[in-house]
Structure 1
Amino acid sequence: MSEWGNLIPRSYKTEMPMAVRGEGIYIYDESGRAYIDGCSGALLSSVGHGNKEIVAAMTRQLETLEFAHPSRWMNAAALDAAKEAASIAPADLRSVWFVSGGSEAIESAVKMVRQYFVERDGLSSSKSVCIARWASYHGSTLGAMGLGGNMARRRMFSPLFLEGPKIEPHYCYRCPFGLEHPSCDLRCAHALEQTIRRIGPQYVAAFLAEPVVGSTVGALNPPEGYWPLVREICSRYDVLLVADEIMTGVGRTGKPFCVDHWKVVPDIICSAKALSGGYAPVGAMFVRDDIVEVLRSGSGSFMHGHTYNANPVTGAAVAATLRYMKAAKVFENAAVMGERLEKALAPLADLSLVGEVRGMGLMRGIELVENKATKKPFAPEKKAAAVVTGECMKRGLVVYPGSGQIDGVAGDQFMVAPPLIVTQTEVDEIVGRLEEGLRAAENRLRS
C-alpha cells in the first residue's frame, strides 16, 4: 500500500505535506510548520481557518438535527441560510436553491433555464442552447464540462458530454482578435451577439460566464464595459444571463458579488465555495424572482434535486458565515486589502518572467512568460507554474497554479487570493514571500 493508504488522491505523482491544523490565514503541517494560505484553498476559505463562531453554529445544528430529506421536510436552518444569502444578492435575485458544490450549482442553473422556457412557452419551446466561453471552467460533472472550455480537463472525457457553443474570452493581454481596448469596441462581447444570431435566438436559452475568469486564465478581469454590454445583448435576444460567481462571489472582489462592480443584474447567479467559508460543502443558485414565479404559478416545482439539497448542517454553516462576514465587515476589508495587494504586486511586473499582473480585489493573477517583449510563453514541458508553486511552498506560501490558457496547451499562470480577513501586514508578507519564490523560480527556469 502506498503512502496514500486506501485513499485515491488527486495525483499519485505529487508529494504533498500533511495538513493537520488551520488558524486564521495559516495552515500547519505535521511538523508544525506554518504556511500562508495565499489562495484560500481554492478561493473558498474566505473567513480563514478555525473560526469558532461558525464551528459552534454547525455543532449546535449537528446536535439538534443533522439531516432531513428535502423531498419530505423543510428545516429552519435552510430557511435561515436562504434569508442571509438573499440579503447580499442583487435585489431581484431573492430566491435561493442550495446544493453541495459549484458543479451542482451550474447544473441546476442549466436545468432551471430550460424549465423556465418550457413553462413559459410550452413543451414545444426550442430554447435550450447554452453559450459559454473558451478557456473557462464551470465544474467537473458532464453537463458542466460541456459548457467549460478548459482543454486539459476536457480532452479525455469529451466523448461523454454534450458540447456547447463557445465564444472567445476577454483576454486583452492576448486578444484573440488582435485588437486593443478601447479601440476594439469590445469585439469579444459583440461575439456573443454574432453567435446568438448565427445559432438563432429562438434556440439560445442562456449565456454563462465568470465575471473574472478564475483558475483557467488566472484572475482575468474584463475590460470596462464588457458586462453591461453582455447584459444588454442577452436582454435584446431573450437570453438568460447566468453569472458563474463560484470563485468571484461572496466578497472576493470587494463587493458581495463581482457583477455589483458594474451594477449588472444577471438572471441567475451561481455561487459556492466561500458561501460557507469552506466549513461545509455548498453550492447555491440565486434566481430572479419572476423566473421562479413562472414555475410557482405553473407546475409548482423545480424538476431537480439532490440528497443534500438544503441540508440543515450546511444551512447553519452558510448563515453563520454570512453573519460573521457582515459583523466583521469582511467585504469592506476585502476592498481595502485588495487595493493594497494590487499596489504591492505591481513592482513584480518588472521581473523578466512576469508577463501581466491582473485581477480584482483579493483575486489577483500573474501570467508567466519566457519573453516579456514577445509574450512568448514557457514551453509546456517546463511546467513554469508548477515551478513557481513549488518555490513558494518552500517559503511557506500556497498559491493556485494553472496552465494551458493560451491555446489549451501552452501558457502558465497562478492566482494569489488570500482569506478576506487578511491584514495589511499579512498582505506585505505574502508579497514578500511571493517575490522570493518568483526569483528562485526564474533562476531555475532559465538555468
Structure 2
Amino acid sequence: MSLDLDTSTDGVLTADTHLVQSFADLNALKQDGARTVIVGADGAFVTDSEGNKLIDGIGGLWCVNAGHRRREIIDAITEQLDTLDFYSTFYNFTHPAAAALATKLAELAPGHLNKVHFANSGSVANDTAIRILHHYYNRLGQPKKKQILSRHGAYHGSTHLAIAMTTPAYSEGWDKAEGLVHHLRCPHHWREGEGQTEAEFLTSLIADAKARIEEIGPENIACFIAEPIMGAGGIIVPPPGYHAAMGALCREYEIKYISDEVVTAFGRLGHFFASKDVFGVQPDIITTAKGLTSGYQPLSATILSDEIHEVISEPGGTFLHGMTYSGHPAAAAAGLANIALMERDRIPETVRTTGKRFEGNLRGLADLEMVGEVRGSHFMMGIEFVKNRETKEPFTPEDMIGLKVAKAAQNRGLIARPLGNILILSPTLVMDDTLIDRTSDILREAITEVQNAL
C-alpha cells in the first residue's frame, strides 16, 4: 500500500484528514488552508508547500539545534541502519551506538551524573526520572517518599504523569495523575514580584518553598523538578541565584533535584548542559531530549547520579522499566554525530556570542507600545504583549494577539510560535549575524502591523 503525499501548491496533504495533530485546535484544522505544510528544510530555513522559504524561528520545536539537512547526521543514521537497523537494550542485550552515546553524555554531564537511560521523548524521560526515584526510595526503605514538587508555569511533558507535573493550564479538561504533584509559585518577577526587588522576590520564593516542604513533610517528598528556564510556560527566567538556592533547600531536606533540560541542553544557552555552568546547581538527575539529536531522530535521556544508580542496581531485584526503542541504534548514531558536529564547529561556544546578539536584538523591541516584556536568554526568547504597559493588563484570549503577530511574521518569512499573548523564538543555533538581524527586523514589522490595526 502506498501513501499519496500530494505536496502541490494547493498546500494540502492528501492524508491530512487522517492526522491528529498535537496541541492544535482540531476543529479549526477541518477548514481548508488551516495547515502550513512543511516539505523541505536546509540550514536555518524550511520550505512550505507553496514554495515559501521561511526562517525556522522555532527550530522545529526547540530541537533542530545544529540546523537542518546536516549531512554528518544524515549519513551517520544511514550508515547505522545499513549496519544494524535495530536491536533493543533490554535484558542483557546492548549495541555499540547506545553504549558510546551513554559514555559521551556521562562525559558532558556535570559532576557525578554518569548513568544514562534512553527513551524517545522528553515526557518519557521525565516519567522515567520519577519512576526511578520512587523505586530508589522503596529500596532505601522509605516508601512514603513519593510526592513531587513542581511549579506553576512549568512544562514537563504530556504523558499522564508528566502533564501532572506541568502547569495546570495545560491539562484543562483532561485527566492526569492525581495526588502526587504540588506546584510551587512561578518564579516570574515581572508578573509575580510586584513591589519587590529581584533579591526580595527570591527570598520570598525560597521561603514559600520551605513552608510547602514542611507542610507536606520532607519524609513524603521524592523530588523537585525544574526547567532552568521555563519554556512552554512562557520563557520564564527565575531571579539570579534561584536554582542554586533551591538546590541547597533540596539538600537540606534530602529531596532529589531533577533538572529538566529537554530544551536548554545542547547549546541553546551556550553550553552542552546549563544547570551547573549557567545556573550554578548540581542536579541529581538531568533529563534531556530535543537537541540531543537536533531532532533528526526521536531520542531522550535520563541521566542519573552514581549514588542513585548504586541503590537501584544492588542485588535482589530487576529494573522493571524501559521501552522497546530505548537507545535505538539509529537514534543513538544521530546523537553521537550531532554532538561530534557541535564539538567540531564549537556551536555552544559560538552561541555565547551569536545568542547574545539575538537576545539583544529582541530586547530592542521593548520600545514598541504593546510589548510588555522581552525575556529569555540567547536563543530561547519570549515576547509578551500587553494592552497597557503601565498596568501590564493582558490582552484577552479572543484578541489572539500572539497568533496575529505570528501570522504577520510568517507572511514576511519567519516562523514564530504563538502562546496566548506571548510569542516564542527558539531558532536553530546556526544563524549568522545577517539572519539574526533580519529576524528582529521582521518581528518589528510584524508587531507594528498588528499594533497599528488595534
**d(CA) in 2 for partners of 1:46, 1:60:** 22
What's the CA shift for 1:91?
A: 2.6
**Alignment of 1:267 onto 2:284:** yes
CA separation of 1:146/1:350 partners in 2, compared to 1, >3 Å: closer, same or farther? same
Tell me the percent identity: 31
What's the CA shift for 1:420?
A: 1.1
What's the CA shift for 1:297?
A: 2.2
CA separation of 1:256/1:190 partners in 2, compared to 1, >3 Å: closer, same or farther? farther
**Superposition pairs of residues 247-396 of structure 1, within 5 angstroms:** 247-259=263-275, 260-299=277-316, 301-396=318-413
**Alignment of 1:106 onto 2:126:** yes
Partner of residue 30 from structure 1, selected from 44, 49, 52: 49
Q: What residue is the counterpart of 2:94 in the other structure?
A: 74
Query: Residue deviations 1:191-247, cap 9 Å, x none?
Result: 221111110011011001111010112x21111110110000000000000011111
Q: What residue is the counterpart of 2:16 in the other structure?
A: 4
Q: What residue is the counterpart of 2:201 in the other structure?
A: 184
**Alignment of 1:134 onto 2:146:** no
What's the CA shift for 1:6?
A: 2.5
**Alignment of 1:441 onto 2:431:** no
**d(CA) in 1 for partners of 2:122, 2:79:** 26
**d(CA) in 2 for partners of 1:199, 1:56:** 52
Q: What residue is the counterpart of 1:93 in the other structure?
A: 113
| Bigger mean CA deviation after superposition, 92-101 or 65-74 | 65-74
**Alignment of 1:148 onto 2:148:** no
Partner of residue 429 from structure 1, selected from 420, 438, 443: 438
What's the CA shift for 1:159?
A: 6.2
Partner SS, residue 320 of structure 1: helix
What's the CA shift for 1:179?
A: 2.9
Q: What residue is the counterpart of 2:426 in the other structure?
A: 417
**d(CA) in 2 for partners of 1:92, 1:383:** 46
**d(CA) in 1 for partners of 2:138, 2:231:** 32
**Superposition pairs of residues 154-165 of structure 1, within 5 angstroms:** 154-158=171-175, 161-162=178-179, 164-165=181-182
Does structure 1 conserve the Cα–Cα contact (< 8 Å) formed by 2:287 and 2:301? yes
Q: Which amino acid aligns with 2:393?
A: K
**d(CA) in 1 for partners of 2:218, 2:80:** 47
**Alignment of 1:51 onto 2:70:** yes
What's the CA shift for 1:298?
A: 4.0
CA separation of 1:178/1:300 partners in 2, compared to 1, >3 Å: closer, same or farther? farther
Does structure 2 conserve the Cα–Cα contact (< 8 Å) formed by 1:45 and 1:278? yes
Does structure 1 conserve the Cα–Cα contact (< 8 Å) formed by 2:156 and 2:163? yes
Q: What residue is the counterpart of 1:60 in the other structure?
A: 79
| Bigger mean CA deviation after superposition, 160-169 or 344-353 | 160-169
CA separation of 1:180/1:299 partners in 2, compared to 1, >3 Å: closer, same or farther? farther
Q: Which amino acid aligns with 2:154?
A: S
Does structure 1 conserve the Cα–Cα contact (< 8 Å) formed by 2:202 and 2:239? no
Q: What residue is the counterpart of 2:8 in the other structure?
A: none
Q: Which amino acid aligns with 1:250?
A: F
What's the CA shift for 1:185?
A: 4.5
**d(CA) in 2 for partners of 1:160, 1:86:** 31
What's the CA shift for 1:2?
A: 7.9
Q: Which amino acid aligns with 2:259?
A: A
TM-score w.r.t. the length of structure 1 is 0.93
**d(CA) in 2 for partners of 1:282, 1:102:** 8
**d(CA) in 2 for partners of 1:378, 1:3:** 36
**Superposition pairs of residues 209-228 of structure 1, within 5 angstroms:** 209-217=226-234, 219-228=235-244
**d(CA) in 1 for partners of 2:182, 2:419:** 23
Does structure 1 conserve the Cα–Cα contact (< 8 Å) formed by 2:148 and 2:222? yes
What's the CA shift for 1:190?
A: 2.7
**d(CA) in 2 for partners of 1:162, 1:390:** 40
| Bigger mean CA deviation after superposition, 223-232 or 15-24 | 15-24
**d(CA) in 1 for partners of 2:230, 2:451:** 26
Partner SS, residue 148 of structure 2: strand
- Unmatched tracts of structure 1, length 5 or more: 404-411
Does structure 1 conserve the Cα–Cα contact (< 8 Å) formed by 2:147 and 2:180? no
**d(CA) in 2 for partners of 1:267, 1:332:** 25
Q: Which amino acid aligns with 1:92?
A: H
**d(CA) in 2 for partners of 1:402, 1:291:** 37
What's the CA shift for 1:184?
A: 3.1
TM-score w.r.t. the length of structure 2 is 0.92
CA separation of 1:159/1:305 partners in 2, compared to 1, >3 Å: closer, same or farther? closer
**d(CA) in 1 for partners of 2:397, 2:65:** 32
Query: For the aligned residues, what is the CA RMSD?
Result: 1.7
Partner SS, residue 375 of structure 2: strand
What's the CA shift for 1:262?
A: 2.7
Aligned pairs, number = 433
- Unmatched tracts of structure 2, length 5 or more: 1-12
**d(CA) in 2 for partners of 1:4, 1:181:** 48
CA separation of 1:236/1:159 partners in 2, compared to 1, >3 Å: closer, same or farther? closer
**d(CA) in 1 for partners of 2:202, 2:37:** 50
**d(CA) in 1 for partners of 2:195, 2:85:** 55
**d(CA) in 1 for partners of 2:195, 2:147:** 28
CA separation of 1:74/1:159 partners in 2, compared to 1, >3 Å: closer, same or farther? closer
Does structure 2 conserve the Cα–Cα contact (< 8 Å) formed by 1:146 and 1:162? no
Partner SS, residue 157 of structure 1: coil
